[in-house]
Structure 1
Amino acid sequence: MASEQKEKLIRFYKGTEGEETVIKLVDLAEAVQRSQKFRLSGFLDPYGQEIAETVAANYPGLRVDFGGGYQGAERARAMYIHEDFAGTPSGFDIACLKASWNGQFARLSHRDVLGALMGLGIERDRLGDLLVTADSVRILCDSKMAEY
């Protein structure tokens, strides 16, 4: 049955920008079905979150929660939780880092900061929202990336 669901979902998103995302999310959902625990995705944009909800709706006994580090976050992580899981998930494992610069001499935009981070080899699904001000940025990221 799970294999049929997987094929149906992948076929639906085939050839779209959501194809790679749905493959990752279906694998997570199936891992939760097998383990009857919970799993956490990387950060998803709003379209990815929509796909995550679609995947959860196609797997009975599975629910999905989202967390982006603050209320109203655009990019969020999906947590698939099995209905028989008796514990409490540990959280969304999100860290908030702050970087600052002298705003008198440099004007950095969201694009500049994101480009610099991706230039370091950090994958986009490890980064949540970037909250840029005139002289600093708060970077929401996977807590495992915080040390990097």
Structure 2
Amino acid sequence: MSIYQHFRAEEKEFIDQVLEWKEYVSSAYTHKLTDFLDPREQQIVQSLIGKEDDVRVTFYGGSDDSERKRALLYPDYFQPEVDDFAITVFEVKYPKKFVTLEHRQVLGTIMSLGLKREKFGDVILQGDRIQFIAAAEIESYVENNLDKVGKAGISLEKVSLDAVIQSDQQWQELVFTASSMRLDVLISSMTNLSRQKSQMLIEGKRVKVNHKLIENTSFECGEGDVFSVRGFGRFKIISIDGKTKKDKWRIQAGKQK
């Protein structure tokens, strides 16, 4: 039985990478730190590493409720510390009386620096305060190259992990059953739209899964996936709890308030 049959075809490259990390830690008997992973990637790493092996894994992204996290793979003797995750927290200082900055503006500016998205964790907003998480290895580059968001001049202040603000993001629990894990079926259930309307949203390029635009209505979804549906908000699959007697999937999901 192939390990790949439990995952999507497009995830094969990432699965191979995780297996390489695991082999490295096992053979070199040392730890391996990854870039920031989205929730689906975290779920894949967790499932491939398991819980009863000589290689273990812990995730951390700056706070307990971080969405994007770095994974630390390590041998069973190793005791991971927060410092091992090499995370830097930047607070954005800007003229708040005259300028309003949004999440998409901050993220867009970060992405314009020419660095991989995987080098950054969450962008966190609370009121008019803005922070973003970055890998420590790019700290100097970010400090030297980020001085504007849009047309607003900004400065960056490094803050401790203890000072990470709690996101305004809250999730409303959704519990439902679905006949399959197809994208159109799940969007229909989470938005209370008909299957036909959910298909129109997907084909109309209004749905992203894990920040990637998906136009295939039959795209197979899984635990840990995060959905952005333009006009309806953000959703995530928290857990898949087996099947009912009528052969439907039991799903726990969340809708961002």
TM-score (norm 2): 0.49
Q: Cα offset for 1:132?
A: 2.3
Q: Which amino acid aligns with 1:79?
A: L
Alignment counterpart, residue 9 of structure 2, candidates 15, 25, 42: 15
Structure number with higher relative contact order (C-alpha < 8 Å, ≥ 6 residues apart): 1
- Between the aligned partners of 1:87 and 1:72, the Cα distance in structure 2 is 22
Superposition map of 1:18-37 within 5 A: 18-37=11-30
Superposition map of 1:18-57 within 5 A: 18-57=11-50
Q: Cα offset for 1:125?
A: 0.9
Distance 1:103 1:40, change over 3 A: same
Q: Which residue of 2 aligns with 1:126?
A: 119
Tell me which protein shows more strand as a share of its residues: 2
Q: Cα offset for 1:61?
A: 1.2
Distance 1:56 1:114, change over 3 A: same
Of 86-95 and 66-75, more deviation after overlay is shown by 86-95
What secondary structure, in the 3-state scheme, does the structure 1 residue paired with 2:95 have?
A: coil
Q: Quick one: percent identity of the two aligned structures?
A: 26
Do the aligned partners of 1:61 and 1:82 also contact (CA within 8 Å) in 2?
yes
Segments of structure 2 that go 5 or more residues without pairing to the other structure are: 142-257
- Between the aligned partners of 2:13 and 2:104, the Cα distance in structure 1 is 23
TM-score (norm 1): 0.80
Q: Cα offset for 1:79?
A: 0.7
Q: Cα offset for 1:131?
A: 1.2
RMSD, aligned α-carbons: 2.5
Q: How many residues align?
A: 140
Of 86-95 and 26-35, more deviation after overlay is shown by 86-95
Do the aligned partners of 1:102 and 1:135 also contact (CA within 8 Å) in 2?
no
Q: Which residue of 2 aligns with 1:95?
A: 88
Q: Which residue of 2 aligns with 1:114?
A: 107
Of 114-123 and 20-29, more deviation after overlay is shown by 20-29
- Between the aligned partners of 1:115 and 1:99, the Cα distance in structure 2 is 14
Segments of structure 1 that go 5 or more residues without pairing to the other structure are: none
- Between the aligned partners of 1:57 and 1:116, the Cα distance in structure 2 is 37
Q: Cα offset for 1:86?
A: 5.1
1:72 aligns with 2:68: no
Do the aligned partners of 1:98 and 1:137 also contact (CA within 8 Å) in 2?
yes
Q: Which amino acid aligns with 1:103?
A: K
Alignment counterpart, residue 131 of structure 2, candidates 129, 133, 138: 138
